[in-house]
Chain A
């Protein structure tokens, strides 16, 4: 048997038992709805900075590893301590109460369970939970209908697990606003034109957008604020442009993530005299990814981080160049609210 044939045979044997599951089409379609707003992330978000630079993932969960991760964690913020204390013995910083050592684990199957149970389950397992909601009549409201990564996949503690939660459409005639938005938080109440939140004012938005009529507080770390603006008529839970304001503890995590982008080779651009990154981000927001969500992110003032993302659908509508122009204009118009 010559080498080509032997190799062909070996490859065939390797994948002979592999078949794409019938649910693949459904999974792909659900994934493509990721234009849905994200309003919460929780759990060991402190590790996202480590994930972004790649190598320290292998180091976490191994007690007694050298202080490399501590060095990456940056100047002694409380959140920096989160990384080091996870590795139990590291004596560098002891400020954080989060001492749960979570080894690399297997992502559980959470599809079909109630969203609240699942959030607790994933939080306990040390994962960062990201949520999208999808309007569907096929599943009871509040149940998880999809997850990424798939069950059984191994993922390190702190990795983002995205769950898709079913929500139902309420017919417009007898709309009870609370029913329609029961999975969309209204943490900040009526924001009026929706342009001022978290002590930050948004001076410019593309003309065709209006406030998405929801807002979230602390979903992206303690003292974070988020809301979105939509093209009129978009289905509930979907955004065109979403902004997150990071302050206090959330801001120090944000700053690490920003450094992670530089570590991945992102080149800063200038926004109103400040260094910003205009990049495409993976689902978890940690990793630069060509097919990801277009995002502009920068530090507006000491302790105030801003992230503005554009949904892939809206970006596709505008085209990349125009989308980037709009993101830069939005960013230039963001200022501290006085």
Chain B
């Protein structure tokens, strides 16, 4: 790896690592430290292939590695134990929607890992259905149906909550 490759990798990290970490947290439902460990391991793969992939959309490659790693980790964790989903201290406490946000995040966490990944990629990463399908290696139809089912569950929970508070 040349010095220029190294410098480009640093630039890439500066620009993208926080976004990757956030996506990992949302997809695998882990704490920031667990997700960081996972992102490190995903980025190691990126680093390993960096000279080859740096000119060919490294962001998409990195995102795919992170998301797939997060899905398999989420599945593995499910067997071992449920993760405590801590409220990050930075969340503004004065927000009127705090309760709703918590409920939605908790609901998101209950979804199967792949369905959750679809919602995160579509509504957090703002990827198109086609991009999401390409990343997850499934059909656009699967993305549509998974997104619809996931959203329906979140919506049901939300309406239920609003019904109670109204």
Contacts and interface: CB of A to CB of B under 8 A. Distances in A.
Nearest to A153: B33
B20 A3 contact: no
Interface in B76-106: 76, 79-81, 88-92, 95, 97, 100-102, 104-105
Chain B residues touching A, majority SS? helix
A31 B88 contact: no
B108 A10 contact: yes
25 contacts: A3-B155, A3-B158, A6-B158, A7-B123, A8-B123, A10-B102, A11-B120, A12-B124, A13-B91, A14-B26, A14-B91, A14-B101, A16-B90, A18-B32, A19-B21, A20-B36, A20-B39, A28-B13, A55-B79, A58-B79, A148-B37, A148-B40, A150-B36, A152-B33, A153-B33
B47 A28 contact: yes
B104 A10 contact: yes
Interface of A: 3-4, 6-21, 24-25, 27-29, 31-32, 54-55, 57-58, 148-153, 291, 312, 316
B108 A149 contact: no
A179 B68 CA distance: 43
A11 B26 contact: yes
Given A14-B101, A25-B10, A312 B33 contact: no
B9 A25 contact: yes
B21 A20 contact: yes
- Which range holds the interface residue count of chain B? 35 or more
Given A25-B13, A149-B37, A312-B48, A10 B81 contact: no
A13 B33 contact: no
Nearest to B159: A3
Chain A residues touching B, majority SS? helix
Q: Top 6 A-B pairs ranked by shortest CB distance? A: A17-B90, A20-B17, A10-B104, A15-B22, A10-B101, A3-B155
B88 A17 contact: yes
B100 A10 contact: yes
B39 A32 contact: no
A24 B13 contact: yes
Contacts of A4: 123, 151
Interface in B10-44: 10, 13, 17-18, 20-22, 25-26, 32-34, 36-37, 39-41, 43-44
A31 B40 contact: yes
Interface of B: 9-10, 13, 17-18, 20-22, 25-26, 32-34, 36-37, 39-41, 43-48, 76, 79-81, 88-92, 95, 97, 100-102, 104-105, 108, 119-120, 123-124, 151, 154-155, 158
B44 A16 contact: no
A8 B124 CA distance: 6
Nearest to B125: A11
A17 B105 contact: no
A17 B21 CA distance: 11
A3 to B, nearest CB: 4
Contacts of B44: 28, 31-32
Given A3-B155, A148-B37, A18 B88 contact: yes
A49 B154 CA distance: 39
A222 B132 CA distance: 50
A153 B37 contact: yes
Contact of A31 (B21, B26, B41, B101): B41
A20 B18 contact: yes
**Residue from A12, A21, A28, A150 with most neighbouring chain B CB atoms (10 Å):** A28
A17 B81 contact: no
B91 A27 contact: no
Contacts of A19: 18, 21
Nearest to A282: B41
Contacts of B154: 3, 6-7
A11 B105 contact: yes
A10 B101 CA distance: 4
Contacts of B89: 17
A12 B22 CA distance: 9
B25 A14 contact: yes
A55 B37 CA distance: 22
